[in-house]
A and B are shown apart, each in its own frame.
Chain A
Amino acid sequence: MTLTAEALTLGYGDRMVVEHLDLTLPPGRVTAILGPNGCGKSTLLHALARLTRPISGRVSLEGRDLGAYAPRALARRLAILPQGPAAPEGIRVGDLVRRGRTPWRGMLSPWSEADARACAAALEAVGMTALAERPLQALSGGQRQRAWIALALAQDTPALLLDEPTTFLDLVHQIEVLRLLRRRNREMGTTVISVLHDLNLAARFSDHLVLMGRGGVVAAGAPGAVMTPDNLKAAFGLNARVEPDPETGAPMVIPRADGGDA
């Protein structure tokens, strides 16, 4: 599932957030979109899932304009987990996950074998099979986030977009979420695209990084090529060293002690 943005301009009213952005997101890989607050990461992700209409330019999926897909056809190819989705009061984990089957079900078609299999597999993938009957509100933040991811997995799409799936989670749960997304990618070939904040975790768990600054994309490519002091300076205005992570060899960002105004 190749997603491509061409000359994409996004914004709200008169305020442009992203201008003339060109980007290709590689299929079958784990991609992280990084950048400072307000640079338009989430807006870009929304545009890639057609939640935001471009002011100009276009997004295409498999070479076909995103606008040309019927809503349900698109939802069978691409799932998105927005930030802070709304949980109905008292809903159980299993009932929440079942709603991920919406694009596969007609108005009157009954719950099918395939629906049940997809939900069971999604709960299994996030390790929550035993918690299916629990009310969502009774779970920890990390478990709740995994339940929402299970809903997106139950949608059974070749591409999965996530808006800050690790924000508000502690380190252990962040790693848990990133691991399960990477496992999904390795096992099913799912294209995973997330907006992330933690540079080091992003570099460690992604095949491809998109680093954005105020003006648009600063660099895109393999973590080693993107995470350089110059690119970090351009994107964040941050002076940092980049050293290999002693554990995995992935690039690791270490902000300079003097604040870097030297």
Chain B
Amino acid sequence: MRKSNFWGLLFVLPFIIGTAVFFVFPVLFSGYISFTDWDMFNPPKFVGLKNWINSFKDPAFWISFRNVLYFAAIFVPLQTIFALVIANMLNQKIKFKGGFRACYFLPNVTPWVAGAIVWKFLYGYDYGLINYILRSLGFEGSYWYDSDKWWVAIGSLALMNVWKGMGQTMVILLSAMQSVPKEIVEAATTEGAGKAAIFRKITVPMISPMVFLTMILSTISAFTAFDVFLTMFDVYSLPDRNNVVNLMVYREAFIYGKMGPASTLAWMLFIIILIITVIQRKFEKKWVHYEN
């Protein structure tokens, strides 16, 4: 082995070990566990495809998967649009720009537990602020996160997630906007283009790789969202109609101690996310513009 190779390998060794121990092994191990019954106390018992067949046939899984899809369908576009609009506003010459940026980023660093207390107050049926406003305007109050209509309950949580995650996406898009060459914008302005046209025809196409990246990240974060559900729902009394796959995994693994079905559900979710990500990449060429 050449000396330079040796030192190179030595320097990347901690990363390789970390990846092997904390990524490769758990992923492969959970794959193995998905074919077993394992209660974490006794040795795993191989059960073949039982967990996979049971999960596939379980209506609760498909309901929770529908909920995740719906959650992502609301969360991803809303977060991207809001982040894009706010980033564009903060990219203008306005006063207190730093203060506004900090305000929009603040939810991102707020712990979910604290955020959930505020949102439970906002969403409360009897004493919640939203229902108070609705009733003041002559409307009926509504149940939100605790609604028996799944699309209202999951939609309420998707909005919360937008509030929490928008700041980070906004920062990424803002930095992309700041790298748009000023000359192009100035040339367009000289040619008589308005702000809306510049945003639509210059800014958005030029930052489209970043928009694409944030959409991929948002999609993954929507499918792996956990804290928002754990803090807002009570896992011990959550009806199937409002459940999501990650809470099912958590419940199976850490409340029931059934690691086999939990690993199966996690792998099924992994496969689904993989398919969706591949589809997203397929459509990438249609609207993402790379410089080269």
A and B: partners? Answer: no
- B-side residues, CB < 8 A to A, are none
A interface residues (Cβ-Cβ under 8 A, vs B): none
